[in-house]
Structure 1
Amino acid sequence: MPTATLPGPLRLGDSIEVATPVVLAPMAGVTNAAFRQLCAEQGAGLYVCEMITSRGLVERDRVSLSMLTFAPNESVKSVQLYGVDPATMGEAVRVLCGEHGVDHVDLNFGCPVPKITRKGGGAALPWKATLLGQILTEAVEAARPYGVPVTMKTRKGIDDDHLTYLDAGRIAEDTGAAAIALHGRTASQHYSGRADWDSIGELKAAVSSIPVLGNGDIWEAADAIAMVERTGCDGVVVGRGCLGRPWLFRDLSAAFAGETAQELPRLGEVMGVMRRHAELLGEWLGEERGCVEFRKHVSWYLKGFPAGGRIREDLGMVSSYAALDSLLVELDPDEPYPVSELGTPRGRQGSPKRVHLPDGWLDSRELAGAIDIAAEDATSGG
């Protein structure tokens, strides 16, 4: 039921209260410890680690374990976990809570990537309702002794003819999940078109005992407020909207507090954030590797600004702070923020795609035989 009252702090179980009901969505190759620290310096919220596979944790995969790195300002260690096998998922949760002191576990049932869905994982999995319940039950029970809340994120369904989000909400409540987040797109949409906020409102109306979070097309703080006012959801999940714009969390904190957001940053402030981002990556990875990792963010930071092609190209090849500094000083710090970029999509978009599924997957809501664990390799972050 839509409400004009903004939600208060986001409460997950008995142990977590997030002052601003905003969650950073895990994005592969983006939401590492450095980026999460940068965002947390801007405003309050829950900042979730990149997705890690349950099998990778259980098998002590080096890459998976290396991703369990948290910034000094992360008071809540939050990890998104992906898996398809209930027992493996439960064991992975025990590893996270018991060995790494993780405070919150989010389960991913929304990934539309073909290599995942063609084996029945990600956004394909909620179609198998019993399996979804089994995975949630195992994860919640594994986390219970540690007092760690388990949440889930999903999509509307596989496509418009195979919707699962209302069933997923019921299963989340029944199994003891602490919250459910809904991306208002189907798997077949990938990141194209517009998110269906009405589906978020429908889920909120159907789920009464746990928070419902909305995700999709939050490009500005005003979008987040519009979403909660329209849907009545208890908070928002922000993904692509913060690419090259970590100060979005500053604006979101102000908006949910009923305050006026600060003025749009001029290019000089953006340059300062860019330098800070590179420094944080360097602290985590070393200067050269950190600068190389920073390259992918340059186009997002400079989107819409009148920076020449040569500078953009050179910034996309930096490997030291000195090289970065020598290029940034060529930009005009007084250049105003390009207002034409406000409210526009960022990051990947693409077009609708056929969802790759196992043979016969849509024939029944129940799983015939065992899940193919090849749907979950040991490689995390993808």
Structure 2
Amino acid sequence: MAGITNTAFRRLCREYGAGLYVSEMITTRALVERNEATMRLIRHHESETPRSIQLYGVDPVVTAEAARIIAEEDRADHIDLNFGCPVPKVTRKGGGSALPWKLGLFRDIVEGAVKAAGDVPVTVKMRKGIDADHLTYLDAGRIAEDAGAAAVALHARTAAEFYSGTADWSAITKLKETVTSIPVLGNGDIWSAADAVRMMDETGCDGVVVGRGCLGRPWLFGELATAFGAEAPVVDANLGFVAQAFRRHAELLAEFFEDEDRGCRDIRKHVAWYFKGYPVGGDLRASLATASSLAEIDDLLAQLDHDAPYPGAAAEGQRGRAGSPKRPVLPQGWLDSRDIAEDASCELQGAELDTSGG
């Protein structure tokens, strides 16, 4: 969700329903070195509570220091450690979903972060493993539990599966049976509130994590809240409602970037997600995807049939990238051992240099 879950989108989601809304991926070294862009990404709007920051790191010392900064400087109420990213630029350096293969390194990172964070709870998000022959989630779940993590979340796909196919919810069941003293959260193919209820019923997990399912549907969290017995606004997602949500998102992005042109450029990638299944012509979609001001967006949205009803199945189901399975890109010799080797450590040094936000 890099480039998506900035302050603007988190604020918008919160307006529709309660939840724990996590920041974009924050690189630990960039945070420790107080990179200007990273320090901006970890700022929260005053309306955001609880505040949550997602950390990506490969070095136990650096990750612990990043957690200490967050805790001591009161920058968040929750830290989530990301071990689920499958993109090649992350896994090729031993990060993301590749890292739990190295059990000792994984343990050191989680233990260090938990200790440094003090009273700030630390959770762990991960995938099933690298591929079907190199599964890591049960070992990683036990390690995270023993290390003092407050909860573990499983995206029920391997890195090799990327975002393709169907998530293996049976793995969430196995993790729940293995990790018994802390909550286990499920992730993968939550496209609706009904999916979330079904996942919890089928797997016994303690909660759900939503990623791509909220793209263009920030009100999904209100539907989830209602499904689990909380109060949230009742939504009639006709085209007028969707247009209003899209406009609000663009406005919040302009505020976040402190630049209307940049905010309007950033909202462009959301056009297809918001209007999936709705009667919005190709020319109008293309115009929305090139608009450079809020006034221009207003003029374009005024051309829509705001009374057009929710289209049902056409607007539901998978959103965002899916792709096809692919061979994970890993450091040379990564799979030869579950222990971190000196040559792999050299690769890991470069994994800490990327700027936050993906």
TM-score (normalizing by structure 2)? 0.96
- Residue correspondence of structure 1 range 126-165 to structure 2 within 5 A: 126-144=100-118, 147-165=119-137
Q: Please say if residues 32 and 67 of structure 1, whose CA atoms lie closer than 8 Å, have aligned partners that are also in contact.
A: yes
The aligned residue for residue 67 of structure 2 is 93
The aligned residue for residue 301 of structure 1 is 274
Whole-Å Cα distance in 2 between the matches of residues 90 and 33 of structure 1?
A: 24
Query: Judging changes above 3 Å, is the alpha-carbon distance between structure 1 residues 174 and 260 closer, same or farther for their aligned structure 2 residues?
Result: closer
Q: Please say if residues 40 and 73 of structure 1, whose CA atoms lie closer than 8 Å, have aligned partners that are also in contact.
A: no
Q: Percent identity?
A: 61
How many angstroms does 1:342 deviate by?
A: 5.0
How many angstroms does 1:306 deviate by?
A: 1.4
The aligned residue for residue 376 of structure 1 is 352
CA-to-aligned-CA distance 1:225-273 (integer Å, 9 cap, x gap): 0000001101000010110011101100100118899454100111111
- Residue correspondence of structure 1 range 69-80 to structure 2 within 5 A: 69-80=43-54
Query: Judging changes above 3 Å, is the alpha-carbon distance between structure 1 residues 258 and 106 closer, same or farther for their aligned structure 2 residues?
Result: closer
Worse-matched range after superposition: 179-188 or 332-341: 332-341
Unaligned runs of 5+ in 1: 1-26
Whole-Å Cα distance in 2 between the matches of residues 72 and 280 of structure 1?
A: 14
- Aligned amino acid, residue 229 of structure 2: A
Whole-Å Cα distance in 2 between the matches of residues 36 and 67 of structure 1?
A: 12
- Residue correspondence of structure 1 range 1-382 to structure 2 within 5 A: 27-144=1-118, 147-257=119-229, 262=234, 264-285=236-257, 286-369=259-342, 371=345, 372-382=348-358
Q: Please say if residues 276 and 315 of structure 2, whose CA atoms lie closer than 8 Å, have aligned partners that are also in contact.
A: no
TM-score (normalizing by structure 1)? 0.90
Unaligned runs of 5+ in 2: none
Give 3-state SS (helix, strand or coil) of 1:107's partner. Answer: strand
Q: Please say if residues 17 and 232 of structure 2, whose CA atoms lie closer than 8 Å, have aligned partners that are also in contact.
A: no
- Aligned amino acid, residue 82 of structure 1: Y
Worse-matched range after superposition: 36-45 or 296-305: 296-305
How many angstroms does 1:376 deviate by?
A: 2.1
- Aligned amino acid, residue 169 of structure 1: G
Whole-Å Cα distance in 2 between the matches of residues 172 and 29 of structure 1?
A: 28
Dislocated runs of 4+, deviation >6 Å? 258-261
Worse-matched range after superposition: 338-347 or 210-219: 338-347
CA-to-aligned-CA distance 1:12-36 (integer Å, 9 cap, x gap): xxxxxxxxxxxxxxx1111000100
Worse-matched range after superposition: 152-161 or 291-300: 291-300
- Aligned amino acid, residue 307 of structure 1: V
CA-to-aligned-CA distance 1:272-325 (integer Å, 9 cap, x gap): 111111111122223222111111111111111111111111111111111011
- Aligned amino acid, residue 62 of structure 2: T
Query: Judging changes above 3 Å, is the alpha-carbon distance between structure 1 residues 60 and 259 closer, same or farther for their aligned structure 2 residues?
Result: closer
- Aligned amino acid, residue 36 of structure 2: R
Q: Please say if residues 164 and 325 of structure 2, whose CA atoms lie closer than 8 Å, have aligned partners that are also in contact.
A: yes
Q: Please say if residues 255 and 261 of structure 1, whose CA atoms lie closer than 8 Å, have aligned partners that are also in contact.
A: no
Q: Please say if residues 219 and 235 of structure 2, whose CA atoms lie closer than 8 Å, have aligned partners that are also in contact.
A: no
Give 3-state SS (helix, strand or coil) of 2:152's partner. Answer: strand
Whole-Å Cα distance in 2 between the matches of residues 343 and 169 of structure 1?
A: 32
Give 3-state SS (helix, strand or coil) of 2:143's partner. Answer: helix
- Aligned amino acid, residue 301 of structure 1: Y
- Aligned amino acid, residue 226 of structure 2: A
How many angstroms does 1:100 deviate by?
A: 4.5
How many angstroms does 1:343 deviate by?
A: 4.3
Give 3-state SS (helix, strand or coil) of 2:104's partner. Answer: helix
Whole-Å Cα distance in 1 between the matches of residues 218 and 238 of structure 2?
A: 14
Give the paired residue count. Answer: 354
- Aligned amino acid, residue 312 of structure 1: R
Give 3-state SS (helix, strand or coil) of 2:73's partner. Answer: helix
CA-to-aligned-CA distance 1:65-100 (integer Å, 9 cap, x gap): 110121232111100000000000001111122225
Whole-Å Cα distance in 1 between the matches of residues 318 and 179 of structure 2?
A: 29
Whole-Å Cα distance in 2 between the matches of residues 80 and 266 of structure 1?
A: 33
- Aligned amino acid, residue 99 of structure 1: E
Whole-Å Cα distance in 1 between the matches of residues 296 and 66 of structure 2?
A: 42
Give 3-state SS (helix, strand or coil) of 1:181's partner. Answer: strand
Query: Judging changes above 3 Å, is the alpha-carbon distance between structure 1 residues 180 and 201 closer, same or farther for their aligned structure 2 residues?
Result: same
Worse-matched range after superposition: 258-267 or 298-307: 258-267
The aligned residue for residue 4 of structure 1 is none
